[in-house]
Amino acid sequence: MPLSAIDLFIKLGFEVEHCRKSKLIGKSDKKIAEYAKKQKAILVTRDLEFGSIIIYPENSHYGLIILKLPNHFTANKIIEGLEKFLKEINIEELVNTITVLEVGRYRIRKLNKK
């Protein structure tokens, strides 16, 4: 996730914490997921592994957005797609979901509450 995403989230009125700019730097993915859930934060990542229900059972996330965008996308292209999505969606609808954002579309899968 580009650091410039911080500015986008702030501009849109969200609280944001980037792993590279926080106490989470160098922590395992599992620790990052646990921290986000404890903070009641929606985790936004390009790492597809966070969406694995084998590694992260359905109750592992408060909410998750996976950016499944081409590797050649620049930071600006990533921000552009993310901004379009965030302006379209009601953020409360993303709680207790896994959302996959792709070029020109997104899918939302509701998680079972446990």
* pLDDT at 26 (0 to 100): 87
* pLDDT at 114 (0 to 100): 54
Token code pair at residue 24: 């989470």
pLDDT tens per residue across all 114 residues of the chain:
888 899 999 999 999 988 888 888 889 999 999 999 999 999 999 999 999 888 888 788 999 999 999 999 999 999 999 999 999 999 899 999 999 999 999 999 998 765
CB atoms within 10 A of CB 85: 16
**Contacts (Cβ under 8 Å, ≥6 apart) of 78:** 1, 2, 5, 46, 67, 69
Which backbone phi and psi does 17 adopt, to 5 degrees?
Answer: -140, 120
Evaluate whether 51 touches 66 at the Cβ level (below 8 Å).
yes
Secondary structure letter of residue 27 according to DSSP: -
The structural domains of the chain, with segments of one domain joined by +, span 5-110
